[in-house]
Amino acid sequence: MSKKNKNIIIPLPSHDFDPTEVSISWKVLTDAGFQVTFATEDGKRGHCDPLMISGEGLDPWGWIPVVKRVRLIGLFLRGNKAARTAYQQLEKDTAFLKPVRFDALKASDYDGMVLPGGHASGMKQYLENEVLQRFVVQFFEDLDEAKNHKPIAAVCHGVVLAARSTSKQTQRSVLFGKKTTALTWALEKSAWDLTRYFARFWDSTYYRTYMESKGEALGYWSVESEVTRALKDKSDFIDVPKASNHHFIKTSGLIRDTLTDDRAAWVVQDGNYISARWPGDVHTMAKDFVNLVNNIH
């Protein structure tokens, strides 16, 4: 099978997906010669979280008209130049502008799947969609013509979608028995604290897709906690080891990987499944995914 015939599916919510995780994955995959198909619930193009492109609204004055255009913290929190450029290119892509519907998805039509994330409230449509969850299960269980499990990559809240996808055969999450990473509580809480105390204080839950109810421990509905509850053992959630090279660069949340520098990245592979934590890992995740697709097919 030639590269140009390899069709990778990327499901999206209608709103609020992370532009870096989607556009960089798309660019790396298409640059590798793959076809990329997108899917949304209603078959209409998806829209990213606009704050992650503009940075407007991520400063203490971000609620004030006109003044919100002055950005400080917002310039740091939004996607970097590579991501913003890739997203501009993505918005001209025919497949992105004309996605298929979730209910039309069949695992047999695709050679690999990428599950991106995002944290704003629009992500709930994607994370809670039972039709999409059934497709994710189908994709984890489906075999290609050579009887191999197909390549899958998930990053950030995309791992939550996988964690929530329950197999009818096993009555367990498709991640049960697999090793994975995802957005860690340390990274999620640091972004949440920054915005609720110093930046977007009037919208204190912006960086928390799900909040705890009364009586639940802080962080119970964090990405790390929810994903860990779906695993066979809590040790199957893999964070950066303290003895790892470039530990600070990988865990500070201040530095992102690039196409030519993976020191900041943390990516975990278990067989046909690759996972990553946040936009700062996505160049490396996408490149590893390309290698995995080429090695399997």
The whole-angstrom separation of Cα 94 and Cα 80 is 24
pLDDT in tens, 139-164: 999 988 888 999 999 999 999 999 99
* Average of per-residue pLDDT across 23-28: 98
What range defines the domain where residue 202 resides?
A: 3-296
pLDDT reported for residue 296 = 81
* Average of per-residue pLDDT across 224-253: 97
Instruction: Say whether pLDDT at 195 is over 50.
Output: yes
Instruction: Say whether pLDDT at 1 is over 80.
Output: no
Instruction: Say whether pLDDT at 3 is over 50.
Output: no
Average pLDDT of every residue of the chain? 96
Task: Name the pTM for this structure.
Answer: 0.96
Question: Which residues, including other chains, have CB under 8 Å from residue 243's CB and lie 6 or more apart?
Answer: none
The whole-angstrom separation of Cα 224 and Cα 206 is 17
The whole-angstrom separation of Cα 59 and Cα 63 is 8
- Kindly report the CATH number assigned to the domain that includes residue 148: 3.40.50.880
* Number of folded domains that form the chain: 1
Lowest mean pLDDT among 2-6, 164-168, 205-209, 281-285: 2-6
